Amino acid sequence: MLQQLGVFHVHDLCPPLLFDLWKATGELDAHLWFPEIGDMEQYLADLETLIANLLDIWGLIDPERILVKGKLPTLPHLPDDVRRFGPAILGGWWKNAEGIYIRAGSRVRAFLKSNKELQCRLGWSEKSSLECSTVKLESLVKRRHTTWISMVSADFPIAEPAPGGALWVVCKSVVAQSGDDNHSPQAGHISKIIAQERDGKPTTALILVETFIVSDLKDRHLNMPILLPAERGMALEIMLEFNAQHNCFTCDCAMESVPILQERIVTDRTKQKVKHSPESRFVLNMHALHNAHSVWEVLPRSLSSPVPYLQDRRASHTRFAEQLRITSAKRAATRAKTQETRTQNKLKKATMASAQVKQHAENVAQSGNEMDDDEGMDIAEAE
Ligand SMILES: [Zn+2]
């Protein structure tokens, strides 16, 4: 779970190569959590690039880690496994050779249904219980009926739907549609969901959004699509939910101390918190697991396609191998020396212990002789 947001927190705390490793790991992780694969060949090609990127960065950091770190040597086999068994996570769908969607057996799916943690990570829910595009009203306690002018006009340049004069309430949520959409998709932030109410049920629901333009170029620092603010308006449908993060690096957001609350009471203790600049610049979080496959499908290939980290892989791998031969020999010599020192120390300890035992035995024997002499003297005196 940490991997989804880790890159936003470590960006100025670790060296550039380690930061690149965080990015490569986040991108690969999100790809591995695809529950559906539409274009298997495209997916596998991307997966191979993402795995190659991760291993190449490990190679630049320390090639030996690829050999000794448990999961890394198994990664290159993953594309073959996915081709044979489908998505790397359990219960996913993929197209077979005839173009028909198939999925894992019932027992594998049953495991997903019974594993709440896995469901939570995937944002998975029973589709049958949610009807797309329906809205849910706020609780009766929170529900306030307001006119269009005070509810909308101040923030959104939208004319009141005819006939005017109706009262509106704020809604709690809207169900996104997970299927195909006929409209061209646009990124946006839901500001408000409002509806008219009749007999305790919502009617004429509207979704007010701040729309964003997805830039053609990726953010170079985070390697993620940039979201630029566009306008305020009304959404026709909510297609899918995605995660966006403020681009603190570009906006140069600072840290500030804020008091820690304990049982809703302000304490003297403080903690560090990011104070975001008012600049409305965001990035589309490509490390988020929820809906990663849908985001990947909606984005143009120029933004979703992974770029090879090394252009000269062959030459780099030769360098890694040369480096590995030298460092392995050095490390083997160090290990042998450490082992020899340990053996000598053990031998020294054993010798010392043996000498102590011998000395103790001699002392006991000596004190025994002295006692015998004393006893003899007492007997002699008694006689
Ligand atoms: Zn920020």
Determine the distance separating the centroid of ligand 1 and the alpha carbon of 77, expressed in angstroms: 39
As a whole number of angstroms, the distance between CA 83 and CA 94 comes to: 9
Distance 274 CA to ligand 1 centre (A): 7
Q: How far is the CA of 247 from the centre of ligand 1 (A)?
A: 6
Global pTM? 0.74
| Beta carbons within 8 Å of 283's beta carbon, 6+ residues apart | 219, 222, 224, 225, 226, 227, 244, 245, 247
Find the 281 Cα to ligand 1 centroid distance in Å: 8
Distance between Cα 220 and ligand 1 center (Å):
17
255-271 confidence digits (pLDDT tens): 999 999 998 899 999 99
Residue ranges for the chain with pLDDT beneath 70: 1, 90-92, 108, 112, 118-133, 178-183, 369-383
> CA 151, CA 141: separation in Å to the nearest integer?
18
* CA 163 to centroid of ligand 1, rounded, Å: 42
How far, in Å, CA of 245 to CA of 5, rounded?
9
Residue 60 Cα to ligand 1 middle (Å): 31
Q: What is the mean pLDDT of the chain?
A: 85
Residue pair 44/83 in contact by the 8 Å Cβ criterion: yes
Centroid of ligand 1 to alpha carbon of 129 (angstroms)? 37
Q: Provide the pLDDT for residue 130.
A: 60
Task: Please tell me the distance between residue 372's alpha carbon and the centre of ligand 1 in angstroms.
Answer: 89
246 CA distance to ligand 1 centroid (A)? 5
CA of 259 to the centre of ligand 1 (A): 19
Tell how far the Cα of 187 is from the centroid of ligand 1, in angstroms: 19
User: In the prediction, which pLDDT does 341 show?
Assistant: 94
- Distance of CA 53 from the midpoint of ligand 1 (Å): 28
The structural domains of the chain, with segments of one domain joined by +, span 1-128+288-309, 134-237+244-284, 312-383
Query: Hey, CA dihedral for 117, 11, 57, 49, is it positive or negative?
Result: positive
The tens digit of pLDDT for each residue in 299-330 reads: 999 999 999 999 999 999 999 999 889 988 88
